[in-house]
Amino acid sequence: MSLSKNTIQTKPRVKGPAVRIASAIHSAAGLWFFILLSLVLFSGTLAVFAPEMDQLIYPEMRLSLPQKGVGKINPGAIYDAVTQAYPGMGITYIDMAAHDRYAPAKTTIIFPDNKRRTVSIDPYTAKIIGEIPDMTVHSFIARMHAVLFQGLFGFYVVNFCGVLLLAITISGLIIYKRFWKSLFKIPRFKRGTRILLGDLHRLIGLWSIGFLLIISLTGSWYFYNFPLAHLGLVPNIIETQPSPHNISQADLDALGPQTPHRQSGAHLISVVLSAYPDMTITGIMPPMNLNMPFVVYGDRDEYLHGKDSNSISINPFTSEIIGANLSEDLSLSQYAFQGMSQLHHGELLPKNWGWPAQMIMKGIWFLCGLGTCFLSVSGLYFSLKRTRQSIKQLGWRKVWHWGKPWGGPMGLFKYINVLVLVALIAGYMHMVSMGQPKPALPQQAFSSQQAGPFNVSLRIKAGPRNDAINPIQPGGRLMVFPNIEGGLFEDARTILIGLTKAKGSSARGVRVKGAEKIAFAPLRLPRQLEGVEIWIELTQWDGTTSRTQWALSSGKNIAPL
């Protein structure tokens, strides 16, 4: 058959090697790790509004807003209210929710035997609202997105998704040349599902380029640091984040021979705000031990800094500022470490723009997240569609092609996807089981004895990783909890607890740590227990030392707390 001279012959478009390689990477990375990527992308999308979900579900997370024009109370007054409601307990970091008009302040209280409860506080009145459940919608989504319920290894795996997403994004840009010309191209709604989904895949991908690059680059940054730098596989380029300044022994000596009294939280915050009037207080870390400062965290309207980018250490006895770690003193790598987190979470607007602007930014981030979820699912659809068209098999041959270990579009990687699902479910079940009340181990008590002006009793239980029914086992570990009666705990500047016939620090005495009702000291028992005594030594502020001891065999079994 001859061709007319008016007939135009067109050669099929030949893809260059770069496009072919990019196409292979784009398809393989998205298909082989489909379930892993989809879980991380979907949980990350939900995490955007997870705090607001908690506020809708849990009454303890909602506020009764005051009249217009009424501002939040001095953050130190919130600390004072918590210490009054839970005297002698351990108070951890208090999140002031400074930039959220509708969220309460939160902190976790440590009770005896390391039991913990998270409480919410009204930041306008300092009134305790109530206790928050251990597992909320926010905490569930956050743990799933951060570690897939797998601990540190899960953190490594999630960070690897940043590398995958970066490879998918860059390869997509290589495949789709001159992509900017299609930013406003209308999808073809009347050409069938395959064409419509293809148009939507490209269009959503184009409009999400900025989001995808931010998420993938920050995710790859996390992967460089955890696990690569963390395991010593690459150089660690991040300098250690500055830590609070401790109170020196000289500072404690300067307090004099009388028992000092701690200043109120409201007063300490006033001192900090007098020195840094431009600071918005975002959190407080109360001291757990005598040499720890009262640490105040805040921001000063910095851009792409964490909400706790400034920390002020203050002596809780004298109100003297003993150290300050300010954002302006951060090195480039420290700033990058904080900035990457802000970028990843979509906190791109200055905090002083207010709550409405932050909600708009959250909405944009949520929609972009939904778009990436669509890209993942539609990409799987295209791969399955191509596979069905290329394989003309029926019946058992088709089943065999999909079922054999190396068959199907995912090949061997289908087992990785199944493993991800199994690990996710198993990790969640393990987490739930860990949260269930466990049978308490037996404890022993040692009766009250006089040690100078102090009346002291002890309670002991088996230490970590020791499931012995009897807490006293040769060579075992003990947790010792002293109880100083009459409210004289603060009169002891130093408390040491030790064992006779022991070795190392257990023989010299271990310094007691923690607040009054959760004070503890870990000890290791000697191999030979005959004749062993447990002793406590208390040093007052004027240097007077008192000591008493009990025969280790004199403890009496008591019901666990």
3-state secondary structure 318-377: CCCEEEEECHHHCCHHHHHHHHHHHHHCCCCCCHHHCHHHHHHHHHHHHHHHHHHHHHHH
Cα(249)–Cα(235) distance, rounded to whole angstroms?
37
Q: What residues in the chain have per-residue pLDDT under 70?
A: 1-15, 386-408, 437, 439, 464-469, 561
Cα(502)–Cα(552) distance, rounded to whole angstroms?
12
pLDDT score at 405 = 56
pLDDT score at 466 = 63
Closest C-alpha among 427, 458, 430, 433 to residue 443: 458
Cα(244)–Cα(137) distance, rounded to whole angstroms?
32
Reported as a single tens digit per residue, the pLDDT across 11-46 is 445 568 888 999 989 988 999 999 999 999 999 999
Got the DSSP string for 50-103? HHHHHHHH-GGG-----STT--PPPHHHHHHHHHHHSTTSEE--EE--TT-TT-
- pTM for the model stands at 0.89
pLDDT score at 470 = 80
Structure-token match 């390689």, residue found = 21
pLDDT score at 397 = 57
Contact 479, 460 (CB under 8 A): yes
Sequence-distant (≥ 6) Cβ neighbours of residue 34 within 8 angstroms: 376, 379, 380, 410, 417
Q: What's the half-sphere exposure (Cβ side, CA atoms, 13 Å) at 443?
A: 18
Sequence-distant (≥ 6) Cβ neighbours of residue 178 within 8 angstroms: none
CA 364 and chain centroid, separation: 24
Reported as a single tens digit per residue, the pLDDT across 525-540 is 999 999 999 999 999 9
Cα(91)–Cα(87) distance, rounded to whole angstroms?
10
Contact 165, 373 (CB under 8 A): no
pLDDT score at 463 = 73
Cα(448)–Cα(484) distance, rounded to whole angstroms?
9
Contact 514, 288 (CB under 8 A): yes
